């Protein structure tokens, strides 16, 4: 038996059955015609008969991804390492790379697709963890300036208004000098937690400097941003670990987010100047 040759049908069949990646054949409607054990295990089913009860659309987190892949197949006849999120029968999701090609069955002209799935879920989790490490401030756990640059680039392409609030902790150097750096660090951590509690879960809180923070408020106009700033000023004296000063602005295209942040900084400085003037008159 020519077991050293992939041209041998039995050798090729054993190879496919033992392969760790998922090998499959589907028709144009997305029905699973055949699959190897690794493919079945990837979706959490016990047998090919059970697998045939599902179509590709049932097994994808976003069925529109299949439409995009079919468009490539119709145009080029093959697709390589097309990333898809799949849904297992138990409801959990995995991320796979799909490489497949189109076959025309003669004499009917029916289209079928031969493909292989490679599970990259663990790699994607690691990538997300590395991104988190690279874009999180190690002390406070909030976002850092690198994240801010990514967010500015992404949000800057949108036409929606974006609120910006900048915050400086008052007398931070004096806190460090009197109570020590450990106390200053604890105060910064508590400030970050306070700010995160006071905004929406998806609103990035960024540590932009030693005692400086910024909050991005995507979609909020002047009224909404003013309300958030007022809420921070109201709750700060009781809930924040130290007093702070803030300024705010709203980016409206074609202005950049950086321009709005500069205006928010100027507003913060104006507040500080007015406060010092009031203190001097007392």
Start-to-end Cα distance in the chain: 101
pTM higher than 0.85: no
pLDDT of the residue at 281: 60
- Match domain 136-281 to its CATH number in 3.40.50.2000, 3.30.70.270, 3.40.50.620, 3.30.450.40: 3.30.70.270
CATH architecture of 9-124: 2-Layer Sandwich (3.30)
C-beta of residue 268 within 8 angstroms of C-beta of residue 170 = no
Measured CA to CA, the distance from residue 117 to residue 24 in angstroms comes to: 8
Would you place residue 217 in the very low, low, confident or very high pLDDT band (cuts 50, 70, 90)? very high
Nearest one of 237, 212, 233, 243 to 142, comparing CA atoms: 212
Is residue 1 predicted with pLDDT exceeding 60? Answer: no
- Comparing 118-122, 146-150, 278-282, which segment has the lowest mean pLDDT? 278-282
- For 266-276, what is the mean pLDDT? 91
Q: Residue 69's CB: how many other CB atoms inside 10 A?
A: 20
- For 99-103, what is the mean pLDDT? 95
pLDDT of the residue at 268: 97
Q: Residue 255's CB: how many other CB atoms inside 10 A?
A: 15
Per-residue model confidence as pLDDT tens digits over 31-70: 999 999 999 999 999 999 999 888 888 899 998 999 999 9
Measured CA to CA, the distance from residue 115 to residue 108 in angstroms comes to: 21
The domains of the chain are located at 9-124, 136-281
């Amino acid at each position: 038996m020519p077991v050293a040759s992939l041209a041998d049908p039995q050798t090729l069949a054993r190879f496919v059955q033992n392969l760790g990646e998922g090998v499959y054949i589907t028709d144009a409607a997305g029905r699973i015609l055949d699959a190897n054990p690794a493919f079945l295990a990837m979706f959490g089913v016990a047998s090919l008969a059970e697998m045939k009860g599902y179509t590709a659309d049932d097994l994808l987190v976003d069925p529109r991804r299949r439409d995009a892949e079919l468009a490539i197949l119709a145009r080029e006849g093959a697709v390589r390492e097309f990333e898809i999120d799949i849904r297992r029968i138990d409801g959990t999701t995995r991320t796979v790379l799909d490489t497949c090609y189109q076959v025309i069955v003669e004499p009917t002209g029916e289209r079928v697709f031969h493909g292989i799935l490679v599970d990259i879920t663990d790699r994607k989790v690691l990538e997300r963890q590395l991104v988190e490490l690279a874009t999180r401030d190690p002390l406070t756990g909030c976002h850092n300036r690198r994240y801010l640059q990514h967010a500015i680039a992404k949000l800057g392409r949108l036409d929606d208004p974006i609120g910006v609030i900048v915050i400086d902790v008052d007398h931070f150097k004096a806190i460090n000098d009197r109570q020590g750096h450990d106390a200053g660090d604890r105060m910064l951590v508590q400030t970050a937690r306070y700010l995160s509690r006071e905004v929406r879960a998806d609103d990035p809180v960024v540590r932009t400097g030693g005692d400086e923070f910024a909050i991005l408020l995507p979609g909020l106009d002047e009224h909404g941003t003013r309300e958030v700033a007022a809420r921070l000023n109201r709750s700060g004296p009781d809930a924040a670990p130290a007093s702070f000063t803030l300024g705010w602005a709203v980016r409206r295209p074609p202005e950049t987010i950086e321009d709005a942040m500069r205006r928010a900084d100027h507003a913060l400085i104006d507040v500080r100047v007015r406060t010092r003037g009031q203190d001097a008159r007392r």
